[in-house]
Amino acid sequence: MKIIIGLGNPTREYQATRHNIGFDAITRLCDDYDIRLSRAHKALCGSGYIGGEKVILAQPQTYMNLSGICVREMVDYYKLTGEDIIVICDDIHLDVGQLRIRKKGSAGGHNGIKNIIEQLGSEEFMRIRIGVGEKPEKWDLVDYVLGRFPKEEEPLIREALERTSKACECIIGEGIEAAMNRYNQKPRKAEL
């Protein structure tokens, strides 16, 4: 069994913001695999099957900086290890729509990932980072990540969410190495 956790902030004011791209990815997975979410483990969770394997999808309701509380509770409840966890989050160091899949690693400045590492006592869990683009000069970082994507970036985000869903299926069915080889590429720019 795998737990796929999309990071974000609860409440309507944060919907569709750059920082909530992890929540958006879980919504896409729910749509693609007919999974419904309900409250459990300090999250909105749902179970189903992806690639023939049972999965739990989760959107922590603890706010981004405390995401690890929810993850720890789920890992303890289901008696899983870091190898069973896939975390999906935003990354300002990647171009809009670019994916970066890793087996493990540091928080890279992401407070949600940092809290998960603290709660688990390990960096040994898979993650899919979705690029939201670098903040413009003179912008406050918080204002940027809590802002919404401009209309011209929406097609890139929709495509990134589709690729994220496929990447999760690839990780589950073929392994993380296959997913890294297939999806760790910059998205193609539309030709003018």
> What are the catalytic residues?
19
Dihedral (Cα; 57, 120, 114, 53), 10-degree rounding = -20
Amino acid code (one letter) for 12:
R
The CA–CA distances, whole Å, from 165 to 62, 88, 121, 130, 156 equal: 23, 10, 27, 12, 14
Rounded Cα distance between 87 and 176, Å, is 13
